[in-house]
Amino acid sequence: MNWKMNLVQKLYLIGQNKEVQIMIYSILNTIFNLLELAIFIECISSWIPQFQGSRFIGLVHNVTHNILEPFRRLQDRFSPGLPMDFSPIIALFAIDLIKRLLIGILY
């Protein structure tokens, strides 16, 4: 039980330090911006066949696939057979919402 109190006290002290708060905010913001950029790259590369064999695009696909797949299943459930994939748009809205909630809770 004592270690829990020490952890809570340390987290409270970290929260009081403005430099640490700015650093945590910057890290979270950068991570979410990179996710958004990866989704944009995935969308653009899906329209250009020359990019399909690239290792970089493969890495981007590996990162974004797990994010976009639940939204693709949701889209298929509500409107199956659409010729356009709206899952990146829904994912970007969800990422923005999560980012705002996290930053709002932390600050």
- Domain membership flag for residue 35: yes
Q: Which long-range contacts (CB under 8 A, 24 or more apart) does 24-29 make?
A: 24/106, 25/103, 25/106, 25/107, 28/99, 28/102, 28/103, 28/106, 29/99, 29/103
- Domain membership flag for residue 15: no
Each of the 107 residues of the chain gets a pLDDT tens digit; together they read 566 566 666 666 666 677 777 888 889 899 999 999 999 999 999 888 887 888 999 999 999 999 999 999 999 898 888 888 899 999 999 999 999 988 887 76
The parent domain of residue 101 ranges over 25-106
- Domain membership flag for residue 14: no
Q: How far apart are the C-alpha atoms of 58 and 68, rounded to whole Å?
A: 15
- Domain membership flag for residue 5: no
Specify the number of domains making up the chain.
1
- Domain membership flag for residue 54: yes
